[in-house]
Chains A and B, each alone.
Chain A
Amino acid sequence: MIQTENLTKKFGDLTAVDHLTLDIPEGQVFGFLGPNGAGKTTTVRMLTSLIGPNEGTASVNGFKVGEEDQNIRRSVGVLTESPGLYDNLSAERNLEIYASLYEVPDPPGQVEKFLRMLGLWERRHDEAGTFSKGMRQKLAIARALLHEPRTIFLDEPTAGLDPEAARLVRDFIIDIKKEGRTIFMCTHNLNEADRLCDRIAVFKSHLLVLDTPKRLRAQLFGRKVVFHLLQADDSLAKQVQELPFVSEANIIDNKLLVTLDDPEAHNPDIIRLLVGAGADIQFVGELRRSLEDVYLQLIKNA
């Protein structure tokens, strides 16, 4: 539903977005990661027709950026970096204004639906300025969804929220994902990206990598399996190391760490070897590298 080809944006001598090519199918949650100033917000602004590209093409929901901007704005919802609410107006009034601007067919009905969905109905008459950060963020999300957009852009949806509020927002993102909407999410929260996103792009002016979180970990670090043994010695590691599918095997504190590409297929062979060698296996588990490790490695290499 979102396609870009060599999308480029320059501000004077600075190239904020450099030949970005993406293809995000409908219904996917896409995580767009990158350091501050990487060009994430500029990309979102181009894809929501707020600013125009210097080079390349992009289309969102089948509408071309720069040619069908009004259609794009009608069909997408945007949660900007800052909620940007009208603080001295009530929550309900804030949403009513946007319902009208988005030409929502039943404004009162939609406003009520989203205020209830996000647990703000009881506070609908209160000024947005009196809301907590989490409530303000929820109100801004409701505003982005009022017109039932097919694609939603979320720029740092949980930034600055306490854990409880962040969880509420994440749960809500999972709910809207279930509705089959395409979600393009810029975030610094790598755990959040790991949990929510089907695919992740790491971006720093240009695309560094694009894949599922699981495959990214495997690509960068390989997959590691930990065998907890009652008693381990180096001879076990040597025997495992000789297996053709094992890249590396080490003993650390009665744990045998094995690096291999396909643990699901080869773990039984390793277990058989260890049992045959008289080892007592207590547990077997995969050592998961965090997405943060992947991200930091990529940014460092960039």
Chain B
Amino acid sequence: MEKIKTIIRKEWSEVFKNRFVLFTVAFLPLILTALPLGILYATNSLESGDAVSSDIPAQFMQFCPQELTGGECFQIYMVNQFLILFMMMPMMIPVTIAAYSIVGEKTTRSLEPLLATPITTTELLTGKSLAAVIPAIAATWAGFIVFAVGAALIVNNPLVLKALLDPMWLIAVVIVGPLMALMAVNASIMISSRVTDPRVAEQLSMVVIVPVLALFFGQISGLFIINSTLILLIAVILVLVDILLVYMAVKVFQRENILTRWK
């Protein structure tokens, strides 16, 4: 456990000295918190629903409480799109850190002395994963808390607030988000163990986000509506995927190949 903590602290000392990385960790939560709050504020004055409810997919309208006006439904609909991003944020933030984790050590030639210590592969990869996942989750949760407080101050109708802070979204942000972060980080570390160029690692790692973006566009287009059942299903699938990825990341990390085949 001590060695895992050492790796985490080492990664943080290195990573957070880089202002660009700090910016990538802070920027996304800031913008994705400010935008829905801005939308809530801007749409607060909408009274008549006819003009706007026609823009909302019919499937979504079924879930909108009948007591709410079209304008309020529109508010919920718009902000719901950003809440999906809150769920995805923890997987978008740490990719830069994780993608660089192994290939970066290799390019600076610090990997060989590190592997010569009595650290196990599991300890090394766990340390590197957590170092990337923890800041992402912390930034996302902080952003969500700011959003919740801001929404409570902006929204007039308690029913709208209740719909926005539905337990489904709490599960999404508190459970699904970290599971997604773990998935993205393990995939990135696996890619980082196989490629020889940090830029390639980062580009390939970004591909992990693509399937999850389907959720975002699926709901916008009205293809499906994210509800509690879907969130729980995603959580179960992610647990299985994460277990598989952790196992594969340890298997893929072959010290000998990494040391001898990389130039």
Contacts and interface: CB of A to CB of B under 8 A. Distances in A.
A89 B17 CA distance: 9
Contact of A86 (B14, B18, B116, B119): B14
B17 A101 contact: no
Nearest to B113: A84
A299 interface: no
Interface stretch (B129-137, B182-190, B202-210, B255-263): B255-263
B112 to A, nearest CB: 5
Contacts of A98: 113, 117
Contacts of A86: 10, 13-14, 108, 110
A74 B120 CA distance: 12
Interface stretch (A43-51, A109-117, A193-201): A43-51
Contacts of A48: 116
Contacts of A50: 112, 115-116, 255-256, 259
A250 interface: no
A82 B114 CA distance: 13
Interface residues of A, number: 31
B238 to A, nearest CB: 32
A78 B111 CA distance: 12
Nearest to A77: B116
B118 A97 contact: no
A123 interface: no
B162 interface: no
Contacts of B119: 101
Given A51-B256, A70-B118, A84 B109 contact: yes
A73 interface: yes
Nearest to A16: B260
B6 interface: yes
Interface in A274-289: none
8 contacts: A11-B260, A45-B259, A73-B116, A80-B112, A85-B110, A86-B108, A100-B6, A101-B6
Given A76-B116, A83-B109, A84-B112, 9 more contacts: A45-B260, A80-B109, A84-B109, A86-B10, A86-B110, A87-B108, A88-B14, A89-B13, A101-B6
4 cross-chain pairs, A with B, having the tightest CB-CB distances, nearest first: A100-B6, A101-B117, A82-B109, A84-B110
